[in-house]
Amino acid sequence: MSNQKLFNVAVVGATGAVGEQIIRLLNERNFPINELKLLSSERSAGSVIKFKDREITVQAAKPESFEGVDIALFSAGGDVSKLLIPEAIQRGTVCIDNTSAYRMDPETPLVVPEVNIDKINEHKGVIANPNCSTIQMVAALKPLYDRYGIKSVIVSTYQAVSGAGAKAINEMLRQSKEILAGNEANPQILPVSSLPVKHQIAFNAIPQIDKFVDNGFTYEEMKMINETKKIMGDESIEVTATCVRIPVVYGHSESVYVELKSDFEMEEVRQLIADAPGIVLQDNTAEQVYPLATEAAGKLDTFVGRLRRDLNNPRALNMWIVSDNLLKGAAWNAVQIAEYIAIEAN
Amino acid sequence: MSNQKLFNVAVVGATGAVGEQIIRLLNERNFPINELKLLSSERSAGSVIKFKDREITVQAAKPESFEGVDIALFSAGGDVSKLLIPEAIQRGTVCIDNTSAYRMDPETPLVVPEVNIDKINEHKGVIANPNCSTIQMVAALKPLYDRYGIKSVIVSTYQAVSGAGAKAINEMLRQSKEILAGNEANPQILPVSSLPVKHQIAFNAIPQIDKFVDNGFTYEEMKMINETKKIMGDESIEVTATCVRIPVVYGHSESVYVELKSDFEMEEVRQLIADAPGIVLQDNTAEQVYPLATEAAGKLDTFVGRLRRDLNNPRALNMWIVSDNLLKGAAWNAVQIAEYIAIEAN
Distance CA B70, CA B131 (A): 24
Q: Check if the beta carbon of residue A88 is closer than 8 Å to that of residue A72.
A: yes
Answer yes or no: is B44 a known binding residue.
yes
Which residues on B lie below 8 Å from A183 (Cβ)?
A: none
User: CA torsion B143→B148→B150→B155, rounded to 10°?
Assistant: -50
Mean pLDDT over B237-262 rounds to 98
**pLDDT digit string (tens) for B118-135?**
999 999 999 999 999 999
**pLDDT digit string (tens) for A35-51?**
999 999 999 999 999 99
User: Which one of A192, A201, A204 makes the best mutation probe of the B interface by having the most chain B beta carbons within 10 Å?
Assistant: A204
Catalytic, A252? Answer yes
The pLDDT, as a whole number, for residue B5 is 93
- Radius of gyration for the alpha carbons in chain A, expressed in angstroms and rounded: 20
The pLDDT, as a whole number, for residue B183 is 98
ipTM here: 0.97
**pLDDT digit string (tens) for A285-335?**
999 999 999 999 999 999 999 999 999 999 999 999 999 999 999 999 999
CATH classification for the domain delimited by A7-129+330-345, as one of 3.40.50.1980, 3.40.50.720, 3.30.1300.10, 3.20.20.70 = 3.40.50.720
Q: How confident is the model at residue A2 (pLDDT cuts 50, 70, 90)?
A: low
Q: Check if the beta carbon of residue B245 is closer than 8 Å to that of residue B209.
A: yes
Nearest chain A alpha carbon to B215 = A308
Nearest chain B alpha carbon to A287 = B197
Selected residues 71-90 of chain B with any CB under 8 Å from a CB in chain A: none
DSSP annotation of A122: G
Q: Check if the beta carbon of residue A171 is closer than 8 Å to that of residue A200.
A: no
For chain B, what percent of residues have pLDDT higher than 90?
98
On whether any CB of chain B is under 8 Å from the CB of A154, the answer is yes
Cβ-Cβ pairs closer than 8 A, A with B, add up to: 164
Q: Any idea where the domains of chain A sit in the sequence?
A: 7-129+330-345, 134-324
Asked whether the predicted pLDDT for residue A206 surpasses 90, the reply is yes
Q: Between chains, do B311 and A195 touch, taking CB under 8 Å as contact? A: no
Helix (H, G, I), strand (E, B) or coil at B305: strand
User: Which one of A306, A307, A319, A320 makes the best mutation probe of the B interface by having the most chain B beta carbons within 10 Å?
Assistant: A306
Mean pLDDT over B43-54 rounds to 94
Domain spanning B134-325, CATH architecture: 2-Layer Sandwich (3.30)
Q: Check if the beta carbon of residue B211 is closer than 8 Å to that of residue B218.
A: yes
Q: Which fold has domain B7-130+330-345?
A: Rossmann fold (3.40.50)
The pLDDT, as a whole number, for residue A345 is 86
Average pLDDT value for chain A: 97
Q: Check if the beta carbon of residue A245 is closer than 8 Å to that of residue A220.
A: no
Lowest-pLDDT choice from A272-276, B71-75, B341-345: B341-345
Distance CA B297, CA B295 (A): 5
CA A224 to chain centre: 11
Which residues on A lie below 8 Å from B216 (Cβ)?
A: 285, 306-309
CATH classification for the domain delimited by A134-324, as one of 1.10.150.20, 3.40.50.10680, 3.40.50.1000, 3.30.360.10 = 3.30.360.10
Asked whether the predicted pLDDT for residue B102 surpasses 90, the reply is yes
Asked whether the predicted pLDDT for residue A202 surpasses 70, the reply is yes
The pLDDT, as a whole number, for residue A4 is 82
